[in-house]
Chains A and B, each alone.
Chain A
Amino acid sequence: QVTLKESGPGILQPSQTLSLTCSFSGFSLSTSGICVSWIRQPSGKGLEWLATICWEDSKGYNPSLKNRLTISKDTSNNQAFLKITSVDTADTAIYYCARRTYSGDFDYWGQGVMVTVSS
């Protein structure tokens, strides 16, 4: 059974760095073809892909946010991480992690974690 669960700070102030953790089970990020992605959704709005990390440690970032994003993984502990630097109110959203398949779809999603950026 594949599950993913996000965790984060809940609320942070503008200019701070947002650190998110995705803890997953039912698959391994050391298995060929496996990738984990981060996707966010502001309240009442659509979905925005942020970043992906794969089993061989390749990484991809949304070009519009690339300079602010860092994705990493801890294969031994079945976790993936995302850092976003210099946050502002526009980064307020629900953040999801999801497993990405070989054909580029996201087949399993976490429940999401709400992040609010406010002074």
Chain B
Amino acid sequence: EIVLTQSPTTMAASPGEKVTLTCRASSSVSYMHWYQQRSGTSPKLWIYETSKLASGVPNRFSGSGSGTSYSLTINSMETEDAATYYCQQGSSYPPTFGSGTKLEIK
């Protein structure tokens, strides 16, 4: 099983600040997917196949990476971006999720 390690576990950012969340895999994966989960709601697909934005996701978000190292970047933090973000790999069985990064607004 591929273990995904997300960092940081928790962070706070000010409006307008650039934010980078990272996800490291214990073995190489083909793609990384990212989900946003706001409190009390279901996860939403946010970025798929490493760098493709899901429908309706603002273009201040971007994703990158390859092999064992991936990241999600917010170019300019906004209040609505406060949420928990999970990475997920589906290229190796079984599918696994990272433990999440909780992003708060300062």
B45→A104 contact, CB < 8 A: no
A30-51 residues with Cβ-Cβ distance < 8 A to B are 37, 46-49
Residues of B whose CB lies within 8 Å of any CB of A are 1, 31, 33, 35, 42-45, 48-49, 54, 86, 88-91, 93-100
B49→A63 contact, CB < 8 A: no
State how many angstroms separate the Cβ of A36 from the closest Cβ of chain B. 13
26 of the cross-chain contacts (CB-CB < 8 Å) are A37-B95, A46-B100, A47-B43, A47-B86, A47-B88, A47-B97, A47-B100, A48-B97, A60-B94, A96-B42, A96-B43, A100-B90, A103-B33, A104-B33, A104-B89, A105-B31, A105-B45, A105-B90, A106-B45, A106-B88, A107-B48, A108-B45, A109-B42, A109-B44, A109-B45, A110-B42
B contacts with A: majority SS: loop
Number of A-B contacts (CB under 8 A): 62
A101→B48 contact, CB < 8 A: yes
Residues of A within 8 A of B (CB-CB), count = 23
B99→A46 contact, CB < 8 A: yes
Give the complex CA separation of A112 and B49 in angstroms. Answer: 24
Smallest CB-CB A-B distances: 10 pairs? A104-B90, A105-B33, A47-B97, A109-B42, A105-B48, A49-B95, A46-B99, A107-B45, A103-B49, A46-B100
Question: Contact partner of B98 among A46, A49, A63, A110, CB < 8 A?
Answer: A46
Residues of A contacting B31 with CB < 8 Å?
103-105
Residues of A contacting B98 with CB < 8 Å?
46
User: Can you name 14 extra interface pairs (CB under 8 A) apart from A47-B35, A106-B33?
Assistant: A46-B97, A49-B95, A60-B94, A96-B42, A101-B48, A104-B31, A104-B33, A104-B90, A104-B91, A105-B90, A106-B35, A109-B43, A110-B42, A112-B42
Give the complex CA separation of A52 and B93 in angstroms. Answer: 11
Residues of A contacting B97 with CB < 8 Å?
46-49
Write the chain A residue with the least CB distance to B55.
A107
